[in-house]
Amino acid sequence: MTQTPARPRARSHAGAIILACAATLALSAVTAPGAIAAPPEGAALRTSSSVSALAGQNEQTLVVPVTAGLEPTRVKGTIVVSGKPEGTVRATVNGRVVLETKAAASIPLDAAVSAADMTAADVAGQQLTVGLQFVAATQTMCVVSNATATLNNLAVDFSGTAKVPTTVGEFFPASVPAVVLPVPAEPGADVSAAIMTASAAMSHRYPDAAVSVVPDTELAARAANLPAGSRVLSVVADQGETSTELATAAGLPQLILSGHDDQLRTAARALSSDKTALAVTSSVTGLTSALPAAPGLVQSLKDLGSSTLKLSGYGTPESYVGVTQSQFGGPVSSVKVQLKGTHTAVPDNAQAQVSVFWNDYLLSSKNLDGGDTFTVDADVPAGQLQAKNGLRIRLAALPAGGDCTGPAGVMPMEVTVDTAGSNLTAVRGGSTKAGFARFPQTFGQSVPVAFGPGNAQANTVNAASLVASLQRDSATLLDTRMVGLDDLAGSSESGLVVGATADAANRLSAPLRLAEFRTIAPADVEYGVGTTAPFGVLEAFEQGGRDLLLLGAWAPEGDTAGASTLQASLASHVSGVEGGWASLSRNLLVTQPSGTPVLLESNVVVPQKAVTDDYRPYAWWIGGAVLILGLAFALRTVLMRRRAKAAQDYVDAEQKATEPGHGN
């Protein structure tokens, strides 16, 4: 009998995606000396990323994009096994087994590969899929080893010359390791908006690529460290029709998008579409794209990215589906889960249950018995809903008599979830406390951005970097547009403020004003920060029923250069932080002159004078109350006098009527 491992397809789909993302992200940090459009033969792509496979888990893969024109020659790395190294470790390239050996604490990987191992990612790119599997020595059919094999420091040697794209379609292959967006000095509002939109478009289109935004003077320095296949995307103002042009910048293929006003922004938005791959000319004019429709509040598991969901075997095989609030097109206050599926017959004396967890909270559990179908209806309780969530479906099955050791030939339990017919129904509303966790879903699809006065180039760089980070956590394309600070302050829309001044922070009632501050526990920030040393801050807060992000800085004696540097370092930190935007918790990210930025809750900040002063006008409530009571008293007095006068007049008239001689 084939004994099925207890976690046969555990997280296979989502896990592969996550690992591929991680790997490709890491590839952006590849050190490839002289990585230009035509790298020298024998260069290596080296990555510090890793791919892990749990014992008994299906093969886990790592996708390495290979630029057109290059040919891989060797794949190298080290496989480390944690836990008991019992079983077999297998490495594959595009499904071809390149290594199969008995598990050991450390196993070197060095295998020859060729062009035949590559698969075409699209017309303009190819990829190498490296797989890792840890086949555990079987213990029982219900118990799984928790040992893990990890492939570290994957390096790919390659030969050949990278092909320079000659059409817009080739400029946008299926995957790229990195995209750089240079920002010209003093960009106009239309260029800034287009750069931010392009930044979102690239992050949306290439979720695994490192998207960076730099001042154009720093392009060469940034490009020097990028791997082959990276792209430069420039946006320039031009009063003519919106058009694209291919060129080379800093040794990398460059696409120049030119145009003006809102057409420039919509053209930048169009770059997110796969349809650009169809452009077979070096220049395209009139590029435009409508904003994709917002996702609805009902999403099937298939819509959420899980096209097949099958659990089989004994023990506790499980599968995981990531669910973000942005997949429902905005913030949601509750989610109803309805799962439908089928299962194989449960043998006599065997037991099987299907359990559904939401962020490790058990939503529902059902015994699988009579019949061959099951449904699970469950509400996610308030408080369990986060920006990013995980729906875990677990099959818990025991063979007949609970005997996990045999006999051979036991039919495995199997459960198949109908991913198209299983739905998650959300209700629009809020579920998380004000802070970073409300982003990006609070934007829906629209991100109005306002700049503070001053350096538009720096503001554009910072804003586009933040937008790129937000986009990575958003399922929908973010439509970024420039608005005036006054307009944003007066609107009810959520938005982003970059380069905020102290006045702007006061006006928007930011929890941390750009002024001196101290924390309740002095150890929260470096000594002097906020009093004698400058600080930069990214704040996420609720104001007037909407959520705002504000990036600003404070420096003693108006050190604007220092303040600008701190803002740039914060934007850069958010772009590169491990875990991305989702790793930001609380509502303040404060950067300090030295050391790493710290996440703070505004509650740990001793109330600043500017904050407490906001409340002083409420003192007029007393005046208002006294005024209302005074008016009530005045009205009473007037009415009483009138009544007294009327009574007096009546008495006078009566007296007059009874006077002798009256009426004669």
Q: List the beta bridge partners of residue 598.
A: 590
Taking the CA atoms of 524, 525, 530 and 532 in sequence, report the sign of the dihedral they define.
Answer: positive
C-beta of 520: minimal distance to another protein in Å?
6
C-beta of 558: minimal distance to another protein in Å?
25
Confirm or reject binding of residue 586 to another protein (CB under 8 A): no
C-beta of 530: minimal distance to another protein in Å?
12
Site residues (CB under 8 A) for another protein, limited to 587-606: 602-606
C-beta of 507: minimal distance to another protein in Å?
18
Applying CB under 8 A, which of residues 116, 290, 293, 521 lies at the interface with another protein? 521
Confirm or reject binding of residue 531 to another protein (CB under 8 A): no
Confirm or reject binding of residue 637 to another protein (CB under 8 A): yes
CA 585 to mean position of chain CA atoms: 13
Residues 242/267, Cβ–Cβ less than 8 Å: yes
C-beta of 514: minimal distance to another protein in Å?
17
Residues 413/346, Cβ–Cβ less than 8 Å: yes
Cis ω before 407 (30° cut-off from 0): yes
Residues 600/586, Cβ–Cβ less than 8 Å: yes
* 120 or 635: CB nearest another protein: 635
Buried b (16+ CB within 10 A) or exposed e, 503-512: ebbbebbbbb
Applying CB under 8 A, which of residues 361, 527, 633, 650 lies at the interface with another protein? 633
CA 73 to mean position of chain CA atoms: 35
Q: List the beta bridge partners of residue 158.
A: 72
Q: CA 262, CA 512: separation in Å to the nearest integer?
A: 34
C-beta of 519: minimal distance to another protein in Å?
10
Confirm or reject binding of residue 636 to another protein (CB under 8 A): yes
* 219 or 611: CB nearest another protein: 611
Q: Which stretch binds another protein (CB under 8 A): 58-66, 95-103, 460-468, 635-643?
A: 635-643
Site residues (CB under 8 A) for another protein, limited to 455-514: none
* 561 or 629: CB nearest another protein: 629
* 102 or 609: CB nearest another protein: 609
C-beta of 600: minimal distance to another protein in Å?
12
* 207 or 607: CB nearest another protein: 607
* 561 or 635: CB nearest another protein: 635
Beta-sheet pairing, 479-482 with 446-451: parallel
Confirm or reject binding of residue 644 to another protein (CB under 8 A): no
Confirm or reject binding of residue 607 to another protein (CB under 8 A): yes
Confirm or reject binding of residue 518 to another protein (CB under 8 A): yes
* 361 or 633: CB nearest another protein: 633
| Residue 448: DSSP 8-state | E
C-beta of 611: minimal distance to another protein in Å?
6
The two tokens of residue 177 are: 């390791």
Site residues (CB under 8 A) for another protein, limited to 608-627: 611-613, 615-622, 625
* 102 or 636: CB nearest another protein: 636
C-beta of 516: minimal distance to another protein in Å?
11
The closest alpha carbon to 341, from 390, 393, 289, belongs to: 393
Query: Which residue carries 């990215």 as its tokens?
Result: 305
* 121 or 604: CB nearest another protein: 604
The two tokens of residue 418 are: 């109908």
- Which H or E run includes 329? none
Confirm or reject binding of residue 523 to another protein (CB under 8 A): no
The helix/strand/coil state of 528 is coil
Confirm or reject binding of residue 105 to another protein (CB under 8 A): no
* 382 or 408: CB nearest another protein: 382
Beta-carbon contacts of residue 566 (< 8 Å; ≥ 6 apart): 534, 535, 536, 553, 555, 591, 593
- Which H or E run includes 544? none
Please count the residues of this chain forming the interface with another protein, following the rule CB under 8 A: 28
Confirm or reject binding of residue 628 to another protein (CB under 8 A): yes
**How far is residue 522 from each of residues 113, 518, 519, 555, 604, measured CA to CA in Å?**
56, 7, 6, 19, 10
The closest alpha carbon to 72, from 97, 53, 44, belongs to: 44
Q: Could you tell me where the beta strands, DSSP code E, fall in 445-576?
A: 446-451, 479-482, 495-500, 535-543, 546-554
Confirm or reject binding of residue 629 to another protein (CB under 8 A): yes
Applying CB under 8 A, which of residues 220, 632, 644, 653 lies at the interface with another protein? 632
Task: Using alpha carbons only, give the angle 424, 428, 429 rounded to the nearest 5 degrees.
Answer: 125
One-letter amino acid at 254 equals Q
Site residues (CB under 8 A) for another protein, limited to 342-361: none
Q: How far apart are the first and last CA of the chain?
A: 133
**Chain contacts with another protein (rule: CB under 8 A):** 518, 520-521, 602-607, 611-613, 615-622, 625, 628-629, 632-633, 635-637
